[in-house]
Structure 1
Amino acid sequence: MTGRPLRAVALGGGHGLHATLTALRGITEDVTAVVTVADDGGSSGRLRRELGLLPPGDLRKALLALAGPDSGPWGTVFGHRFGGTGALAGHAVGNLVLAGLLETVGDPVAALAEAARLLGVAGRVLPMSPEPVDIEADVTGLAEDPATVRHIRGQVAVATTPGRVRRIRLLSATRRGERPTACAEAVAAVLAADVVLLGPGSWFTSVLPHLMVPDLHDALVRTGATRVVVLNLVPQPGETEGFSPEHHLDVLAEHAPRLRVDAVIADVDSVPVPDRLRQAAKALGADIRLDHVAAADAADRHDPAALGASVTRAVATALER
């Protein structure tokens, strides 16, 4: 690592990934985002169904997070969402641009590189898979017998279920019944990284899906990078409502029992029983870092500078081991 920037890879989707990318942008210029491609709602879902493309929404958010305030007018345009009641209503301009690039360029990695150049992004945005994927979940609490397990499919359905999500699986949306393939560049980025971040974000629909892609899971297990899990600041309505901080780690261990973690970062005010979190982290091989990482004006939002500093300390501690 001497003489070059820290190689950082963040895996996730949506607002959680935006938080880690904004934090990482403050500590290194070598940042790669690996983004979930399971979204089937809103503008992304419409484009995915109508054109058969990767859902672009989370990819667009990751590009804008890495571009930051220096993205200029293109950043404003990418984030603009059409109003009205016509065919374009609800679509973000950036989603349409990415859809056009995906159709004309073909290769999603090359298409995202073109979008990154347009926005002046220094880092990289990669899909976790070159094909759209579907999330399938085992859920209890949806039948008269609360122990009955129902299977539900789709990112929106899983994220909004009133039941209790027990386990998820990931399936290719284009190859019926098969597991999704990993983006080769994402696998290479994880293996070459100095630090890899999982979380924060929607646990079952943004964080865990990366571990359900076989080659990406294997890369996360094999990498020599410092592996850091960043926990959410507040309980999330829907899929993880009522989960304690340590339960998030228990679920992670159930889905990826071979994964070892070096550090778990949590906000000191978001952990009611630190000893329980410490024990759950220990089962993953990790130390916990209880830092003040929430924004001063919003308890549900990470402070980028504070989170970046916590990640830097976690990497330094791991290297001293």
Structure 2
Amino acid sequence: MAESRLPHIVLFSGGTACRTTNLALLSKPVRLTRIVPAWDSGGSSKVIRESLGVLAVGDIRQALMTMAHGEGRAGDVVKVCNARLTSGAQEDARTEFALYAEGRHPLLERMEPGLRGAILNYLRTFRAAIGRDFDFRNGSIGNFILTGAHLAHNSDINTAIFVFRKLCDIAGHVWPSTAEGGVDLSAILNDGTRIEGQHRVTALEEQAGRTGIRDITLSAAGGSVAANDAVLESLESADAIVFGPGSFFTSVLPHFHVEGIVPTIARNVHARRVFIGNILQCRETRGFDLARMLDIAGALWQARGGADARPFTHVLANRQLLPFEKTVGAFAYLGNGALAETCLRLGAEAVVEEFEDPWQRGQHDGRTVADVLSSLLPA
């Protein structure tokens, strides 16, 4: 079947939580598009973002590398883009970066000249922009290349991603939900406390987590946060639009706050809209159950222009095997709560199965999730 005629699945997600699902879907006869957050404010992305004032690229690069892995891409370009610098002495990290930027790293020396030249161009563009005091420690070479491409192509992140995909020979698509830089996420707790920054929300201290998140906001210098045109085009052609798995308040729900995304999904009456419940609670969702999360998402859907369309056609819920709360490490399993009643109210069908990976407690079995998603695709 021609690629353009394959079913198109659009997956709203964060980083690691949906990795196994992403990989399993790549083994199916589908076209896959990942929509990732553009408000990452931690790690290597934070350092780049604060130094250059550009859109955070960490989640984009991670999703692209997952695509490369699932598609069996393991050449030297992918190895370079997946590399990280030493986390030791700052001078050692600077020296290691120079090996890449000056083309003296063994992976670059044996590379085809055209590919090598493109990578060096983007690394040198990045180096020229960040100045002398940049801290390279634990930095991702892929983040540096993608940021360099972003700068080299007039700050057009979509063009930068296109070039990055071509360099790595990646077929799957990855887009940030907004192409705007400087987008910030904040959470307001139930006691009125405001937590600024995605990285602080995902790392809530236990007491703050038990207080609970009441609301989240996205903000940008220009006010509202506009959707990436490439995302809207993907949603218009989707056969299935999937939310999660991932951190509910920082990786999944915020996409509803991006202008244009909810109305565009609502207009696609053909596509299945699937919410995948997490296996475990997390720092953001202590004491929550799946039904409560669906109620929050449903209310935001209506507020952001969902009109009379139902937010989800299907909800994938992990089967509860025990009548008491069980934990894995610091977190309890996410209960389903009043799932049947909530799904009835939202107009969604609950699909309850054992979605936990038998070898990785607390994580999804990607193959099982992918099989169910495939079975839900429109004929």
How is 1:88-127 mapped onto 2 (pairs within 5 angstroms)? Answer: 88-105=136-153, 106-127=155-176
What is the CA distance between 1:314 and its match in structure 2? 2.5
Q: Partner letter of residue 279 of structure 2?
A: L
Distance 2:367 2:204 in 1: 34
Q: Distance in 1 between matches of 2:292 and 2:29?
A: 31
1:246 alignment partner in structure 2:
291
Residue from 180, 184, 187 that aligns with 1:134: 184
Secondary structure in 2 matching 1:34: strand
**Equivalent pairs, count:** 306
* Cα shift readout 1:2-22 (whole Å, capped 9, x = no counterpart): 992111111121113434322
Q: Please give the secondary structure, in 2, of the residue aligned with 1:170.
A: strand
Partners of 2:29 and 2:167 lie apart in 1 by 21
Q: 1:235 to 1:270 in 2, by over 3 A?
A: farther
Q: Distance in 2 between matches of 1:97 and 1:82?
A: 13
Bigger shift: residues 226-235 or 291-300: 291-300
Question: For residue 85 of structure 1, what is the amino acid of its counterpart?
Answer: A
Report if the CA contact (8 A) 2:7-2:377 is conserved: no
Q: Deviations over 1:182-229 (max 9, x none)?
A: 101101110110001011101010001110012112112222211011
Provide the C-alpha distance between the structure 1 equivalents of 2:41 and 2:142, rounded to a whole number of angstroms.
Answer: 17
Q: Specify the alignment match of 1:22 in structure 2.
A: 23
Equivalent in the alignment of 1:219: 264
Q: Does 1:294 align with 2:329?
A: no
Instruction: Tell me by how many angstroms 1:270 deviates.
Output: 7.4
Offset at residue 152 of structure 1 (A): 2.3
Judging changes above 3 Å, is the alpha-carbon distance between structure 1 residues 63 and 270 closer, same or farther for their aligned structure 2 residues? Answer: farther
Counterpart mapping for 1:15-164 below 5 A: 15-69=16-70, 70-72=72-74, 73-83=76-86, 84-86=88-90, 87-105=135-153, 106-132=155-181, 133-140=183-190, 148-162=191-205, 163=208, 164=212
1: CA distance, partners of 2:7 / 2:199: 35
TM-score normalised to the size of structure 1? 0.89
What residue is the counterpart of 2:343 in the other structure? 281
**Deviation string for 1:41-65 (max 9, x for gaps)?**
1101111111111111100111012
For residues 213-258 of structure 1, the C-alpha deviation after alignment (integer angstroms, 9 at most, x for no partner) is: 121121122222110111111111x211221122221221232233
* Residue of structure 2 in register with 1:7 after alignment: 8
Paired residue for 1:144?
none
Pick one of 254, 259, 267 that aligns with 1:209: 254
Return 305-314 or 202-211, whichever deviates more: 305-314
In the other structure, the counterpart of 2:317 is: 266
Amino acid at match of 1:242: G
Contact in 1 for aligned 2:10/2:234 (Cα 8 Å): yes
Bigger Rg, structure 1 or 2: 2
In structure 1, how many angstroms separate the alpha carbons of the residues matched to 2:353 and 2:376? 11
Aligned equivalents of 1:131, 1:30: Cα separation in 2: 26
What residue number does 1:143 align with?
A: none
Provide the rounded CA distance (Å) in 1 between the counterparts of 2:158 and 2:50.
21
Q: Equivalents in 2 of 1:61, 1:213: separation in Å?
A: 21
Alignment check: 8 A CA contact 1:29 1:122 kept: no
Contact 2:292 2:337 in 1 (8 A): no
8 Å CA contact retained: 2:317, 2:336: no
**Is 1:11–1:199's contact at 8 Å kept on the other side of the alignment?**
yes
Q: What's the RMSD between the two structures over aligned residues? A: 2.1
- For the 8 Å contact 1:167–1:255, the answer to whether it is kept is no
Q: Distance in 1 between matches of 2:296 and 2:16?
A: 21
Percent identical: 28
Task: Find the residue that maps to 1:300 and give its secondary structure.
Answer: coil
- What displacement does 1:305 show? 1.6
Segments of 5+ residues of structure 1 without an aligned counterpart are 141-147
Q: Which residue does the alignment assign to 2:120? A: none
1:267 shift after superposition: 2.2
Quick one: distance in 1 between partners of 2:322 and 2:241? 23
Contact 2:21-2:365 at 8 Å conserved across structures: no
Alpha-carbon distance in structure 2 between the residues aligned to 1:58 and 1:228: 22
Within the candidate set 232, 250, 255, 1:187 is matched to 232
Structure 1 283/16 Cα, relative in aligned 2: closer, same or farther at 3 Å? farther
Letter of the structure 2 residue corresponding to residue 91 of structure 1: G
Shift of 1:300: 2.1
Amino acid at match of 2:158: V
Counterpart residue identity of residue 110, structure 1: T
Q: Secondary structure of 1:240's partner? A: coil
Unaligned 5+ residue runs, structure 2? Answer: 91-134, 324-334
